[in-house]
């Protein structure tokens, strides 16, 4: 840490002063050893404790979320469709040959699909809007990539960027309309799949295979927890036999609009793909205290790890934009060291510096929020202040703010950043100091 003194950044001071009345082994005069502890609180603005705030996005994919959304003008601005690609069923069925006098079955690997149905299962708890809900299904016509697709892009991988002909995964070949009353007693609907479409989906080499599911009413938001495909197949051995078999796998993701745009003086954490914020710390070695801290004359307050009683990062929440991406449930924020600060974007993260994530109420990201949230980080601040012992690994000065899991929700937490005046991040440090005797 560079030797320097930070002047006049003591923003607020809290005295919890007391005196020690222990008697020494050789004298009953405690005044012989000056051990008068004082506890003070120091608040450092962002530029006084950090070099920069680095904002990153694009981690993980909505395809890894549990379930997927369909929405239309949710909270006035969020549209979302669900895309599903189904895998192949078993490579053989077992049928009784025609004319057989026994019930012994034989394997049939040359069966052919003749029709099918897509079954959609809803999360009856996470439903917003006025039932009855109307859903549409359509067969996707454009090659697409499950992990990288978005509202505007069918494929967005390294060296292959391909837009949808129509935003939102269009155009599609209509498969039908189904309605759901929003009740838990009936949490599923189905769409019939014609012979031509089911034959195409049966061919796993076709990159356009998949179904798009959407909701038609404005103000609706429904979570799909699962989707399945049932093939009706005809036996090649006994043409009179039709068997129903299920696809063995499925890949599901959601695409949504609008995308999150840069915030005015703020930053995001979470979402899918996920956002991260990385603070590059640069703690001062001391600050200049005024008479309220030091007594009758100004003094220098030295930062030492043995003096730190508590440290916490103070952030102000910010109203989410777009509103459709405002958190609906409590969201947990974790703080983890960036193990390779020279390559932040691709660096692995270390273990959390908190005892547990900081959980934040979703209402704090609504209108008129601007609420102060504190993230305890005492151990990490102490470690930054310590001298590195020979053979020990240095403490990373870069700390990432992330959700507990990536991705966790489609929604994301938003906070005010540096340069936002009274809402900018602050590092709060509580120190206990003594005159003439260092605390253990």
- 375-407 residues labelled b (16+ CB within 10 A) or e (exposed): bbbbebbbbbbeeeeeeeeebbbbbbbbbeebb
Q: Are 180 and 186 in contact (CB under 8 A)?
A: yes
Q: Are 337 and 380 in contact (CB under 8 A)?
A: yes
Instruction: Please compute the mean of the pLDDT values over residues 140-147 and round it to a whole number.
Output: 97
Output the pLDDT for position 295.
63
What are the phi and psi torsion angles at 256 (to 5°)?
Answer: -150, 160
Quick check: 26 pLDDT over 70?
no
Q: Which CATH architecture fits 30-60+261-433?
A: Sandwich (2.60)
- Structure confidence by residue, pLDDT tens digits, 362-407: 999 987 778 999 999 999 999 999 988 787 888 999 999 999 888 8
Task: Take residue 285 and report the two structure tokens written for it.
Answer: 């070695």
- Structure confidence by residue, pLDDT tens digits, 155-191: 999 889 999 999 999 999 999 999 999 876 789 999 9
Q: What is the pTM of this model?
A: 0.83
Quick check: 193 pLDDT over 70?
yes
Percent of the chain with pLDDT over 90: 70
Domain limits, the chain: 30-60+261-433, 78-257
Task: Take residue 165 and report the two structure tokens written for it.
Answer: 């002909």
Q: Are 432 and 301 in contact (CB under 8 A)?
A: no
| Pairing status of strand 78-86 against strand 68-74 | antiparallel
Task: Take residue 287 and report the two structure tokens written for it.
Answer: 């600050």
Quick check: 261 pLDDT over 80?
no
């Amino acid at each position: 840490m560079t030797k320097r003194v930070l002047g006049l950044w003591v923003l607020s001071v809290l005295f919890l002063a007391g005196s020690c009345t222990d008697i020494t082994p050789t004298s009953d005069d405690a005044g012989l050893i000056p051990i008068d502890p004082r506890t003070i609180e120091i608040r450092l603005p962002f530029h006084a404790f950090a070099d920069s705030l680095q904002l990153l996005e694009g981690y993980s994919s909505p395809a890894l979320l549990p379930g997927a959304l369909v929405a239309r003008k949710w909270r006035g601005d969020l549209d979302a469709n669900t895309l599903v690609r189904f895998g192949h069923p078993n490579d053989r069925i077992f049928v009784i040959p025609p004319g057989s006098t026994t019930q012994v079955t034989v394997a049939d690997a040359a069966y052919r699909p003749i029709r099918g149905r897509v079954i959609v299962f809803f999360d009856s708890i996470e439903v917003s809007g006025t039932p009855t809900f109307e859903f549409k299904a359509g067969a996707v016509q454009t090659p697409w990539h499950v992990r990288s697709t978005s509202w505007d892009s069918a494929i967005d991988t390294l060296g292959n960027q391909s837009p949808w002909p129509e935003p939102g995964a269009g155009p599609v070949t209509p498969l039908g309309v189904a309605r759901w009353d929003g009740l838990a007693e009936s949490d599923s609907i189905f769409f019939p799949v014609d012979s031509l479409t089911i034959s195409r989906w049966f061919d796993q080499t076709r990159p356009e295979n998949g179904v798009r599911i959407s909701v038609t009413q404005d103000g609706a938001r429904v979570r799909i927890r699962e989707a399945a495909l049932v093939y009706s197949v005809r036996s090649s051995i006994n043409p009179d036999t039709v068997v129903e078999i299920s696809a063995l796998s499925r890949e599901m993701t959601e695409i949504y609009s609008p995308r999150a745009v840069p915030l005015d003086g703020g930053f995001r954490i979470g979402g899918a793909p996920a956002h991260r914020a990385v603070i590059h710390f640069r703690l001062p070695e001391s600050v200049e205290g005024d008479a309220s801290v030091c007594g009758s004359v100004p003094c220098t307050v030295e930062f030492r790890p043995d003096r730190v009683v508590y440290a916490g990062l103070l952030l102000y929440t910010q109203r989410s934009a777009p509103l459709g991406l405002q958190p609906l449930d409590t969201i947990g924020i974790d703080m983890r060291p960036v193990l390779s600060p020279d390559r932040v974007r691709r660096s692995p993260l270390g273990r959390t510096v908190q005892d547990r994530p900081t959980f934040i109420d979703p209402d704090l990201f609504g209108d008129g929020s601007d609420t102060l949230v504190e993230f305890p980080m005492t151990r990490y601040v102490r470690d930054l202040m310590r001298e590195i012992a020979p053979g020990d690994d240095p403490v990373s000065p870069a700390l990432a703010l992330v959700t507990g899991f990536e991705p966790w929700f489609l929604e994301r937490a938003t906070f005010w950043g540096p340069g936002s005046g009274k809402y900018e991040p602050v590092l709060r440090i509580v120190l206990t100091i003594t005159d003439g005797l260092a605390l253990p």
